[in-house]
Amino acid sequence: MAKDKKDKHAPIEAVPAPGKLKTSEYEEELYKLHVELVKLQQWVQHTGAKVCVVFEGRDGAGKGGTIKAITERVSPRVFRVVALTAPSERQQSQMYLQRYVPHLPAGGEIVIFDRSWYNRAGVERVMGFCTDAQAQEFLQAVPLIEKAIVDSGVLLLKYWLEVSPQEQTRRLQDRIKDGRKTWKLSPMDLKSYSRWFDYSRARDDMFKATDTEFAPWLVAHTNDKRRGRLNIITDLLSRIPYKAVPQDKVVLPKRQKPGEYREPDYPYRFIKEKF
């Protein structure tokens, strides 16, 4: 990251401590943002705009919850979430970024990457899945590729979600205890947990090499999940020049009369109603 940026902003680990956001306040604000996200969806479809949003951060930083908050009230055919699995043997033999390119947005799409090509700058580098030379080669090449993506008409937004070590520990321990969340805790998460400062160094190198004017890194504090989600969605909306698209007034038509139709005397297999 450029030196003047560091001088103007607090250290990335510095986390503000505002009062707790009430559930009613959070839901009220999220409702307003969902309405705006629907307007964004309609504008993207109407104009053929192409939007790509990248979410990166440590395990437990809140990427999944933020993506869910963005997408839960919009169409999955417009807002596409990409979360790639480990590369196959064939993909490992390809140019590194090759498997990500097919997922970039076409006209009328918003693609959200839940982790992205930046795996090479983070987990792959820290956990030894690539050599340091390969990581450095990636850091040199990715600004050129992102420039090509932006020049092709894609609006590229890159968010780094920053969580404190104490909050990360609390969240990962919660995953261990909560049977609904155990699937979120992989063996890789456990291995990477102990390497906090290796990840910090990898993050710092990544920012220094890839925080560009045409595709800057946007940092969000997410120790408070609710505030983090609201702040990120608000920022995302502010960076896209969308407008409300005129819509025809929707009026339900009259339902047809039954005529000669009669409900059949059929032995339907109703489910058991326990609630």
pLDDT tens digit sequence for 205-264? 999 999 999 999 999 999 999 999 999 999 999 999 999 999 999 999 999 999 999 999
pLDDT tens digit sequence for 11-39? 676 555 677 899 999 999 999 999 999 99
Domain contains 157: yes
Predicted local distance difference test score (pLDDT) of residue 177: 87
Domain contains 254: no
- CATH code where residue 171 lies: 3.40.50.300
Residue 5 has pLDDT above 60, yes or no: no
Domain count across the chain: 1
Residue 3 has pLDDT above 70, yes or no: no
Cβ neighbour number for residue 227 with a 10 Å cutoff:
19
Predicted local distance difference test score (pLDDT) of residue 11: 65
Domain contains 249: no
Tell me the residue range of the domain where 199 lies: 23-239
- Percentage above 70 pLDDT, the chain: 94
Domain contains 108: yes
Domain contains 15: no
Q: Are 141 and 213 in contact (CB under 8 A)?
A: no
Nearest to 196 by CA among 217, 170, 228, 166: 166
pLDDT tens digit sequence for 101-154? 999 999 999 999 999 999 999 999 999 999 999 999 999 999 999 999 999 999
| Strand pairing report for 154-162 and 217-221 | parallel
CA 190, CA 180: separation in Å to the nearest integer?
18
Domain contains 259: no
What is the mean predicted confidence (pLDDT) over 201-205?
A: 97
Give residues with Cβ within 8 angstroms of 56, minimum separation 6.
63, 115, 116, 118, 122, 158, 159, 160, 161
Domain contains 155: yes
- Percentage above 90 pLDDT, the chain: 82
Domain contains 136: yes
pLDDT tens digit sequence for 104-119? 999 999 999 999 999 9
CA 105, CA 111: separation in Å to the nearest integer?
6
Instruction: Give the strand order in the sheet containing 109-114.
Output: 79-82, 109-114, 50-57, 154-162, 217-221
